[in-house]
Amino acid sequence: MFEILLNHYPVLLKGLTTTLVVSLSAIALGLVLGVLLAFGLTSRYRLVRWPCGLYRSFWRGTPILLQLLLVYYLLPEIGIELAPIQAAVLTLTLNTAAFQAEIFRSGISHIPAGQIEAARMAGISAWHTRRRIIMPQVFRLTLPPLTNEIITILKNSSLISVIAVTELMRVSEQIASRTFQPLETYLAAALLYLAVNLVLARLSAYLERRMTGGLATE
Amino acid sequence: MLDITLLWEMRGLILQGLWNTLWICFLGCLLALSLGLVLAALRLANPRLFGYPVACYVEICRGTPLLILLFLLYYGGPSIGLRLDAEIAGVVGIGLYGAGYFAEIYRGGFKSIPKGQLEAARMLGISPWHALIRVQIPQMARLIVPPGTNQLIILVKESALISIISVDDLTKNATTIVNQTFQVIEPYLAVALLYWLIIELIARSGYALEKRLANRQPRQAAPQGAPPHANG
Amino acid sequence: MPTADTLSPPFSSRPKSIVEAQGISKQFGDLEVLTDIDFSLAPSEVVCVIGPSGSGKSTLLRCLAFLEPYDHGSVYIDGQLLGYEDRSGKRVRTSEKRVDEVRAPVGMVFQHFHLWPHRTALENVTEALRLVNGLSRRDADVEGMAMLEQVGLADRAGHFPESLSGGQKQRVAIARALAMKPRVMFFDEPTSALDPELVGEVLDVMKKLAADGMTMVIVTHEMGFAAKVADRVIFMDQGRVVESGPPATLFRQPKSERLQQFLNTWRERHID
């Protein structure tokens, strides 16, 4: 296993970089979409709530592999040509947006209604209430589930190897077929995934400790 | 437009995929549920001896993709003399992977029961085993049903990965149909619908079970906090 | 240093003791919570253990029940060593099953009741009858109802613990322990978690038990109860037995300064 790591570390690192770039861009893009969706899900208007709910239901209720295949094969049919890596980022983004929306929705629902009422009574606009009062707290409240989501997306990014994106998993397959040492190779890859995820978990725990100050526990 | 007749013509493949997905998921989840309970019970019984190894196992499951585990079992296994059919590798992979998550879920349940209740049982001469099945598990059940249901759903969705190690499951057979008919939407949508149906079934059963358990004990309201969440 | 005869009734009136502890001590990490305690309990004797919080009185009771394994010394229940056995000169822990066997004559009531919330009052009482004594559901129910009757709660048989008051919960817990026909009852601060107006109903049940000749060890803060019901009171402080004797002597003529202080503090608080 360590032999594989030593002999093939340049390709493995390149694969790992792709894994990280794809996952983190999906997380970042999904965050924007997720926040919008969360507000859509908590909207006063049924016409907004309903499609947002349907979106969430589909992307949370079907296997991500199926979603990837659907996006990858469907887009060319309607005349959109995407490179595999773009299709991968798109799928992961659309998927994680649904999960992040649910995380934020739940976070928003945990903010005492009195705070929002107090803001509105003080004449703070709805937009400012969201931006200055709700969201800063929501990010702190949702850090643990958000970290889980990042780790999940990192793990799930392994399956974009099926549409030939040369990330960590794909690179490992290539090494395995060249060296005829599948066991050692996949163990090495597992170790890399594990290391990244452990670092992420630690980082999040550290951030959470630092951010707990001033948080309404209600 | 959607071509329903195409699906009818391909019903054999779809049904075969459904059957394979169902039995592999069933056995895999069963393995995950039981192995997870064993891990949690070991950790509870002797934290000094098993605490660290079980915690490591849990971290490994949480930190590595299921796909890697499946590849290790299916492609890596033979180099240590472990030759598994793809289906069996799927069951074992889902089972081992899920066990790590379930061990944590059970642990949360065990921890939620005040120690004094067990002491009361022990003082009456009730054996540790009876205390486990009569005092701990019935109370845990209510707490672990929601996250447990959630985890089962994740495992079913993740089971789509077994198609990559060549199991003819729903996802694999959908791709086969796509390749044969050059129609993308119908097969994938049909299969997505089937997954959604399975998942909805699990979710509803979990919900019904939760309600039944809650009726038996009108006690505390459902634990507050962010709803269980995980992607898959 | 307390000796055996300061702790037990005079030898003449002393039959074989049901519970006997010799030189037990217990540490939590670096903290010594019990130091070299001797204790013995005769049939039908009622002993109250008093002392400031943190004095080790609850730990003593828990060690006598082996809910906390004691580190040194020995505890005998009916002449049988509890929790340990000699194996070729070395002392080793016995199996849980053996602990259950030796401990069988002991019933215990806890400060926080520890009823099982998923079982009704009656089911709490019958659970052990069915699991341990192997009674059929019907026989266990008859027996259980009799026990609930004894604590005045037959009409609450079908209630879950959450719908009972604290005093009722504790009475169910007493019935649960009594159902196993114990020869000794241990009470670990049975009224400390109760609202003041609910203390009386629990103490009444305990008085009745004492009058019926039940052997009891009661860790308590209820001095009035101790004075009326106990045959002997033990005052503990900092993990040691400081004084013991009949309540009349102990409460009227405390010898040690620490007991005097303790009683004064208690009086100040209760005369206000």
pLDDT over 70 percentage in chain B: 91
SS3 content of chain C, % helix, strand, coil (to 5): 40, 25, 35
Structure tokens at A166: 């040369």
Question: What local confidence, expressed as pLDDT, does residue B90 receive?
Answer: 92
Question: What local confidence, expressed as pLDDT, does residue B45 receive?
Answer: 80
Contact between C115 and C89 (Cβ < 8 Å): no
Higher-pLDDT residue of A197, A119: A197
CB spacing of A69 vs B175 below 8 angstroms: yes
Query: What is each CA distance from A103 to A146, B89, C23, in whole angstroms?
Result: 7, 33, 58
- B219-230 confidence digits (pLDDT tens): 443 333 334 444
Query: What is each CA distance from B74 to A30, A190, C48, C120, in whole angstroms?
Result: 33, 15, 68, 51
Structure tokens at A3: 């032999």
Q: Measuring CA to CA, which residue among C51, C77, C3, C62 is closest to residue C28?
A: C62
Across A69-216, the runs of DSSP E, i.e. the strands, are none
- B104-145 confidence digits (pLDDT tens): 999 888 888 888 898 999 899 898 888 888 888 888 888 888
Query: What is each CA distance from C191 to C28, C161, C166, C182, in whole angstroms?
Result: 26, 17, 9, 21
A206 to chain B nearest CA, in Å? Answer: 18
The maximal CA–CA distance of chain B, rounded, in angstroms, is 71
Q: Measuring CA to CA, which residue among A87, A218, A198, A79 is closest to residue A150?
A: A198
CB spacing of C100 vs B218 below 8 angstroms: no
Name the 3-class secondary structure at B114: coil
How far apart CA B42 and CA B76 sit, in angstroms, is 29
How far apart CA C198 and CA C175 sit, in angstroms, is 17
Q: Measuring CA to CA, which residue among A164, A172, A165, A166 is closest to residue A193?
A: A172
Contact between A41 and A49 (Cβ < 8 Å): yes
Higher-pLDDT residue of B2, A74: A74
How far apart CA B214 and CA B200 sit, in angstroms, is 21
Contact between A204 and A147 (Cβ < 8 Å): yes
Cβ–Cβ contacts within 10 Å for residue A217, how many?
6
CB pairs under 8 A between B and C: 74
Question: What local confidence, expressed as pLDDT, does residue C271 receive?
Answer: 67
Chains A and C in direct contact, meaning 3 or more beta-carbon pairs closer than 8 angstroms: no
The maximal CA–CA distance of chain A, rounded, in angstroms, is 69
Chains that touch A (3 or more CB pairs under 8 A): B
Q: In what order do the strands lie in the sheet with C19-28?
A: C31-41, C19-28, C72-77, C80-81
Out of B98-102, C15-19, C167-171, C222-226, pick the least confident.
C15-19
- A182-205 confidence digits (pLDDT tens): 888 888 888 889 999 889 888 888
Question: What local confidence, expressed as pLDDT, does residue B108 receive?
Answer: 87
Element (H, E) at C38: strand C31-41
Question: What local confidence, expressed as pLDDT, does residue B217 receive?
Answer: 56
- B143-163 confidence digits (pLDDT tens): 888 889 989 999 999 998 898
Residue A7 clears pLDDT 50, i.e. is over it: yes
How far apart CA C154 and CA A185 sit, in angstroms, is 69
Question: What local confidence, expressed as pLDDT, does residue B144 receive?
Answer: 87
Residue C103 clears pLDDT 60, i.e. is over it: yes
Structure tokens at B5: 């007749």
Out of A194-203, A204-213, C28-37, pick the least confident.
A204-213
CB pairs under 8 A between A and B: 148
CB neighbour burial string for C11-34, b if at least 16 within 10 angstroms, e if fewer = eeeeeebbbbbeebbbeeeeebbb
Question: What local confidence, expressed as pLDDT, does residue A212 receive?
Answer: 63
- Taking CB atoms and an 8 Å cutoff, what residues of chain B touch A106? 226-227, 229
CB spacing of C160 vs B122 below 8 angstroms: no
Question: What local confidence, expressed as pLDDT, does residue A114 receive?
Answer: 76
- Taking CB atoms and an 8 Å cutoff, what residues of chain C touch B128? 96
User: Which among B120, B130, B139 has the least Cβ separation from residue C114?
Assistant: B120
Cβ–Cβ contact A158 with B under 8 A:
yes
- A83-115 confidence digits (pLDDT tens): 888 899 999 999 999 999 988 888 888 777 777
Average model confidence (pLDDT) for chain B? 84
How far apart CA A60 and CA A64 sit, in angstroms, is 9
Cβ burial, residue B96 (10 Å; 0-12/13-18/19+):
buried
Name the 3-class secondary structure at C218: strand
Cβ–Cβ contact B45 with C under 8 A:
no
**ipTM for the predicted complex:** 0.82
The stretch C11-19 carries a mean pLDDT of: 62
- A21-47 confidence digits (pLDDT tens): 999 999 999 999 998 998 888 888 888
- C151-208 confidence digits (pLDDT tens): 999 999 999 998 999 999 999 999 999 999 999 999 999 999 899 899 999 999 999 9
Question: What local confidence, expressed as pLDDT, does residue A1 receive?
Answer: 66
The stretch C43-50 carries a mean pLDDT of: 94
Question: What local confidence, expressed as pLDDT, does residue B216 receive?
Answer: 62
Long-range residue pairs from B42-49, CB within 8 A, at least 24 positions apart, any chain: B43/B103, B43/B107, B44/B107, B44/B110
Q: What is the CA radius of gyration of chain C?
A: 19
Name the 3-class secondary structure at C209: helix
The maximal CA–CA distance of chain C, rounded, in angstroms, is 60
Contact between C147 and C125 (Cβ < 8 Å): yes
Partners of C114 in the beta sheet? Answer: none
- Taking CB atoms and an 8 Å cutoff, what residues of chain A touch B59? 194, 198
Residue A127 clears pLDDT 90, i.e. is over it: no
Higher-pLDDT residue of C119, A131: C119
Contact between C37 and C20 (Cβ < 8 Å): no
Residue A172 clears pLDDT 80, i.e. is over it: yes
Q: Measuring CA to CA, which residue among A84, A72, A63, A159 is closest to residue B184?
A: A72
How far apart CA C257 and CA C239 sit, in angstroms, is 16
How far apart CA B172 and CA A118 sit, in angstroms, is 55
Q: Which residues 6+ apart lie within 8 Å of A177 measured at CB?
A: none
How far apart CA C9 and CA B226 sit, in angstroms, is 61
Q: Which residues 6+ apart lie within 8 Å of C81 measured at CB?
A: C74, C75, C102
How far apart CA B232 and CA C251 sit, in angstroms, is 69
φ/ψ of C113, rounded to 5, equals 65, -55
Q: Which residue of A has its CA nearest to B200?
A: A61
Cβ–Cβ contacts within 10 Å for residue B124, how many?
27
How far apart CA B11 and CA B157 sit, in angstroms, is 21
Question: What local confidence, expressed as pLDDT, does residue A213 receive?
Answer: 55
User: Which among B117, B138, B218 has the least Cβ separation from residue C114?
Assistant: B117
Residue C14 clears pLDDT 90, i.e. is over it: no
Cβ burial, residue B231 (10 Å; 0-12/13-18/19+):
buried
C72-77 and C19-28 strand pairing = antiparallel
